[in-house]
Structure 1
């Protein structure tokens, strides 16, 4: 599931994959926590990469 979540977070997941992630997140509160933890790591890794530090992940532009 981690690879699918990373595809979702990075904006490259297909429509079917995005739906699968949303169903998985909504199925269990622990899944939402796992997703949020991975999202945080992803965002921090982008901010620490000099090549991408000014580019938020897709869908996050308005939340940052």
Structure 2
């Protein structure tokens, strides 16, 4: 499944000295349009799926 949607991966770079510094940044609200028909062999990710993996003090 790796080659399915690698063209849809966002690329970004940032530098931080610590985890606290990295998590203190202003979040970016990235929204994508929903395709009319989902054709991938896996469930569609919803915005914010990654928030459950953030440290508890930083969750909103």
Give TM-score, length-normalised by structure 2.
0.32
* Greater helix fraction, Structure 1 or Structure 2: 1
If asked which structure has higher relative contact order (CA below 8 Å, sep 6+), I would say 1
Q: Which has the larger radius of gyration?
A: 2
Give TM-score, length-normalised by structure 1.
0.31
